[in-house]
Amino acid sequence: MRNLTVNVFHPFELLPIAFESGRFDWDPSGDEGREEALGQADAVIAYAADRHLGWQHWLQEREDDLSTRDPVVTSSRGTVTYTNLVDSQRWHAAYHYRQVLAFLERGGYEPTGTLSLASLRGLKLPAEIF
């Protein structure tokens, strides 16, 4: 869970920088070091919550810019618009969320409501997940 949490949330702290700089410099090989700093479950939860709140706050502050600008962003995977970059990170987060829900359901836990596999109907995932 530490690995998934870092892998999903770290890119969201890089997205504001990418909007301003035109560079999305996420190197997942550095996730292991970030992960090692998170000892117990409380630290993992705090890591995710801090990044989530930071992303929400930035979105609220930049609402006008986000509705009028769509800068081009370059990463190790190529060049895309900021909108496409955010969309790919949303898909990435949903992909891992879907994995966690499937794991929980296979273990006998039956999530309901917004925390359920049914809430992600239509999300296409590669067969190799399973």
pLDDT tens track for 5-50:
899 899 999 999 999 999 999 988 888 888 888 988 889 889 989 9
pTM (two decimals): 0.80
Cα–Cα distance list, 2 to 12, 26, 43 (Å): 16, 17, 9
CA 38 to chain centre: 17
Q: Token pair 């989530």 is at which residue?
A: 52
| The total number of structural domains that make up the chain | 1
d(CA 74, CA 17): 12
pLDDT tens-digit readout, 58-87: 999 999 999 999 999 999 889 999 999 999
**CB–CB of 36/97 below 8 Å?**
no
DSSP H/E element including 10: helix 2-21
